[in-house]
């Protein structure tokens, strides 16, 4: 089953190296949400806008990653290696780095302080000069791709590192092809339509963005297929029985039904002979059934405190725009307040999350295995609550709050209404005070709404992304009254052109070109209402850190009443009550 990739999430996840990308998948990764039937065929102009968002995200991510590499080279060049013990520790650090394959100091063509097998001839291939940085073209070693980066030191020496591009190939797979500064493709998928040799072979109509640091280009093109998608798992249905104590026994007694998943009181059943439509027609009239529905598919959408995180000032415009610095003067959060992230999981070992990610839950298999094999959930978690003021990486909205990872989307960014509902109930039962849901589908689901009501009745603050298709069609859970729904803005406080709108929009938050975390200590820039929602979840976490006795409705009222009114005067379908203001919300609460 195909879906539409409309923006810079998945590809942006890797393109910190600023390569040439051609997206040919049919998935909406911008906010992990499926396209509604009414917008299957995106107009060319709007699709070009989406492509440009992706290209911009990838270019900005490239610059951010190159800055990381440059700073790492500086640190290693200055690192004390005066004795054998220090030399061993340094070598171990280089070998364990996720991107550096080898390292050396170069003085008049001679190598010193080397770690790994670095080739002097390849160091001489640093032909592309950009300021004090230099780069080589990509090359292969034993069939794997690498490139060299160098930086001039004050004494005219060069510190050089060899970068392993294995992650590039693994991440891109069949979604993209990659070309170097000379326009030559060196990574390509299996799609026969994208086996180009140079960028001269590219078809017309693609959106391109040059990465100035590398002279590599980013080329994006989405190929949406006609025809309506299937939004549920065929042959399955989700049921809730009137007699909940004997549900499994009832299912076993049905000749043509088998139990697929059990999350009392909800059950996923499957028929080997009937379609989903036939199951719904048959079971909806059965007196033992309280409700039955398809197993819907969900996919991945003044005096201030200035943190010292390396990417805060140059890249995190989003936090300044919502007056986060003023808010941190009031509080930077509390370990006693937990934000659950219902998503693809979270990388608990990321350097900007390590120690604050609680033991989570996998709604697919019922285990605690909630690691992120996709990247979306880690990015969302970082926006909400990355470790801050630690020199490294980025700042999150709620510095001290813990993250509770709940894996309801798989490695492809897909899940069903059953997993999402199961994850919501688990998060509620395991201490979540705030739940972020950067996901959605255009089909109303009884099981989902039932779980949402369960969370709301247990006083949990529920935050959801509105969707990324520039339509008024309501997504779920975004349309439920128990949920605070978030639209996306850009750095001019204007509505992000992809952001869904309508009566259900409560507030807005930054959602274009948002820097955050990616698995394995990476940092990337992504766009979407998926990125807007965790800004609000972080604010809710700060509010509950100050006053945990506030009800969820009190929190909603405080967030909306202190928002900056945008667009039409008063509440409107594009911004809701307006863009959130962290400083005003927290000051009003403490006053």
Q: Catalytic residue positions? A: 343, 376, 530
Interacting residues of 285 by C-beta distance below 8 A, sequence separation 6+? none
3-state secondary structure of 215: coil
DSSP class of 184: B
b (16+ CB within 10 A) / e for 9-27 = bbbbbbbbbbbbbbbbbbb
SS3 379: helix
Of 59, 65, 91, the closest CA to residue 149 belongs to 65
CA dihedral 274, 277, 282, 285 (to 10 degrees): 170
Structure tokens that stand for 176 in this block: 């993209």
- For residue 201 the two structure tokens come to 């072979």
Q: What is the DSSP string of 423-444?
A: HHHHHHHTT-SEEEE--BBSS-
Q: How many residues does the chain have?
A: 591
CB atoms < 10 A from the CB of 422, how many?
A: 27
Place of tokens 């972080």: 538
User: Any idea what the Cα angle at residue 273 is, between residues 449 and 265, rounded to 5°?
Assistant: 30
- CA 539-543-547 angle, 5° bins: 170
d(CA 409, CA 232): 14
């Amino acid at each position: 089953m195909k879906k539409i990739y409309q923006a810079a999430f998945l590809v942006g996840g890797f393109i910190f190296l600023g390569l040439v990308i051609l997206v040919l998948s049919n998935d909406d990764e911008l906010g992990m949400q499926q396209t509604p039937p009414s917008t299957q065929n995106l107009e060319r102009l709007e699709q070009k806008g989406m492509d440009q968002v992706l290209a911009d995200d990838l270019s900005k991510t490239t610059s951010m990653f190159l800055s990381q590499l440059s700073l790492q080279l500086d640190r290693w060049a200055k690192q004390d290696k005066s004795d054998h013990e220090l030399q061993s520790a340094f070598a171990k650090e280089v070998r364990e780095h996720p991107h550096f394959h080898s390292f050396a100091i170069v003085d008049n063509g001679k190598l010193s302080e080397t770690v790994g097998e670095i080739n002097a001839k390849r160091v001489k291939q640093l032909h592309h000069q950009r300021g004090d940085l230099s780069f080589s073209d990509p090359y292969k070693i034993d069939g794997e791709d690498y490139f060299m980066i160098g930086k001039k030191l004050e004494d005219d020496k060069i510190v050089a590192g060899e970068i392993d591009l294995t992650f590039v190939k693994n991440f891109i797979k069949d979604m993209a092809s990659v070309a170097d500064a000379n326009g030559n493709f060196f990574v390509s998928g299996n799609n026969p339509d994208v086996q180009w040799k140079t960028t001269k072979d590219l078809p017309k109509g693609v959106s391109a963005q040059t990465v100035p640091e590398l002279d590599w280009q980013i080329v994006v093109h989405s190929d949406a297929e006609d025809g309506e998608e299937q939004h549920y798992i065929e042959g399955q249905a989700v049921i809730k029985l009137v007699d909940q104590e004997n549900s499994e026994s009832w299912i076993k007694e049905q000749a043509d039904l088998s139990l697929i998943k059990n999350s009392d009181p909800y059950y996923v059943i499957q028929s080997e002979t009937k379609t989903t439509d036939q199951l719904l027609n048959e079971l909806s009239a059965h007196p033992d059934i309280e409700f039955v529905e398809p197993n819907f598919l969900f996919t991945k959408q003044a005096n201030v405190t200035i943190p010292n995180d390396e990417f805060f000032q140059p890249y995190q415009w989003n936090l300044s725009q919502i007056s986060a610095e003023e808010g941190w003067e009031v509080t930077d959060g509390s370990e006693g307040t937990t934000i659950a992230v219902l998503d693809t999981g979270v990388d608990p070992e990321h350097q900007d999350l390590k120690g604050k990610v609680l033991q989570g839950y996998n709604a697919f298999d019922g285990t605690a295995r909630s690691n992120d094999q996709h990247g979306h959930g880690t990015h969302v978690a970082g926006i909400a609550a990355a470790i801050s003021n630690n020199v490294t990486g980025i700042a999150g909205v709620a510095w001290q709050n813990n993250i509770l990872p709940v894996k309801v989307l798989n490695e492809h960014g897909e899940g069903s209404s059953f997993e999402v509902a199961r994850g919501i109930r688990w998060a509620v039962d395991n201490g979540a005070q705030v739940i972020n849901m950067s996901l959605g589908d255009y089909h109303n689901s009884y099981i989902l709404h039932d779980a949402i009501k369960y969370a709301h009745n247990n006083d949990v603050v529920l935050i959801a992304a509105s969707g990324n298709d520039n339509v008024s069609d309501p997504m779920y859970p975004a349309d439920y009254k128990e949920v605070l729904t978030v639209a996306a803005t850009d750095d001019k406080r204007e509505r992000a052109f992809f952001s869904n709108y309508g009566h259900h929009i409560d507030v807005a938050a930054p959602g274009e070109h948002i820097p955050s975390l990616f698995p394995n200590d990476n940092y990337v820039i992504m766009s979407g209402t998926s990125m807007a929602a965790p800004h609000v979840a972080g604010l809710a976490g700060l509010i509950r850190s100050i006053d945990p006795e506030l009800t969820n409705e009190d929190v909603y009222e405080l967030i909306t009443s202190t928002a900056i009114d945008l667009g039409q005067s008063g509440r409107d379908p594009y911004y809701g009550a307006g863009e959130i203001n962290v400083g005003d919300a927290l000051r009003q609460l403490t006053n």
